[in-house]
Structure 1
Amino acid sequence: GIQMDDEGGDTQYVCISALKGTNLDKLVETIMTQAALMEIKADPKGLVEAVVIESTTDQHRGKLSTALVQRGTLRKGAYLVAGQSWAKVRGMFDEWGKPVQNAPPGTPVQVIGWRS
């Protein structure tokens, strides 16, 4: 079984409530601490790899996707492939809808420029 850290194990846990917003800051702090201890780092200069979280069609922007960059730095003008679709990145927007020119690892962005 899993042994929690307060019972002598090496598995950390944080009791949270996303509905009430309870301990979300503690969860982020715990994840960041664990990532630092494990020396988890992504190479911002390597090849780009991202996960598409959702895709939709916007009346003004056309086909767009929300993606989380995992490796490399996504830049305007880059080419992406996802299954049968591809994109030349015409634009990217951060989580507040503001335009961005590049997205380093760990950054969620909306990407426009998709073709089927």
Structure 2
Amino acid sequence: MIRLLAAAGTVAGLAAAAALAAQPAPNRGAEVYRRVCFSCHALDPGRNTPAGPTLHGLAGRPIAGLRGFNYSPALRRFAAREGRWTRALLERFLADPDALVPGIEMSLPRLSAADRQAVAAWLSPR
């Protein structure tokens, strides 16, 4: 009985450790933003740049829906199909913007799955 309880405790501990390892490091999303997104996208509400709209409030926001930014026709067509940004949709977008939104006027370096997950999670509550 003691061995059974010890084994169950070990399995539960390993499962908890695996779940923690799957979560991005808290600062990784901020680092990815500074390295990849910062040059074109601000985080302040209402602060669009000539190259890109603010990323403040991105999760749940209508795609191509901010006033004051001239979105590409490709992104407006995508918005008509998809509606709103979700964390999962953002991760798909960051994997290959050109494949998801053909004709989009945005370029970014190839990001690892972990970097995409981290920056999408970091942007979600903003």
Fold conserved between structures, TM > 0.5: no
Greater strand percent: which structure? 1
TM-score (norm 2): 0.26
Rg larger in structure: 2
